[in-house]
Amino acid sequence: MTASLARALHGLDLEFRPRDYQFRSPGQGRLPGRAGLPPCLPGEVEIARITVGSVDADVYSVRARRAGGRLVYRIADPYFTPWQVRSRSSTRRLTLGELIGLIDTARPQGWEPSLESLGDLWRERLASTRGNDAAAVAVHVTSAIYPGVEGYYRRQAALWLEVRLGQDAEAAAA
């Protein structure tokens, strides 16, 4: 999807880049883990949070920290899963579009590569056990730094549900 098409569909400024990630000074120590998450590394900040309405109510934290002249990104979860992220580091803070790209292409080690977004993959996994409607609202992405990210993923869930219901209707008619 092109940036202009995404903007037209979602009304978002995908080029939005926050002024700062508000890193803590090294003397402030580590923030405790929340929702079972491991604590942040020294100088690390959460830039987005993904919650999945699975049986375990999984929570994933997208984090950034300075390393030399670069910003390094990672995803942390309560299971200490090694995550593969497309954008491991950058010289500037991510734009909203780049953050969405990082989240949508992230995969826990061992998951098959896919063209589907991470949210859609989770929804597909949940749909068979919880139904389409429950799966559509099961994945949330929030951020105190990136306005609009929550609405973007809410609209993505609605689009997923539309496609899924259309596919189910076609299968039933066949």
Return per-residue pLDDT of the chain as tens, 174 residues. Answer: 444 444 445 678 889 999 988 765 443 334 444 568 999 998 899 999 999 876 667 899 999 999 989 999 999 999 899 999 988 999 999 999 999 999 999 998 888 878 888 888 888 888 888 888 887 888 899 999 998 899 999 888 888 888 888 776 666 665
CA distances from 141 to 100, 111, 147 (A): 10, 20, 11
pLDDT of residue 130: 83
**d(Cα 90, Cα 133) in Å, to the nearest integer?**
37
Q: Using the structure block, give the residue that is written with the tokens 């080690």.
A: 109
Which amino acid does the sequence have at 69? Answer: G
The C-alpha R_g of the chain, in whole angstroms, comes to 17
pLDDT of residue 1: 44
- Closest by CA to 71, choosing from 144, 20, 25, 29, is 20
pTM of the model: 0.82
pLDDT of residue 34: 53
**d(Cα 15, Cα 17) in Å, to the nearest integer?**
6
Whether 42 and 29 have beta carbons less than 8 Å apart is answered as yes
Q: Helix crossing, 149-173 with 96-105: angle to 10°?
A: 50
pLDDT of residue 74: 95
**d(Cα 137, Cα 114) in Å, to the nearest integer?**
21
Return the structure tokens found at 63: 């984090």
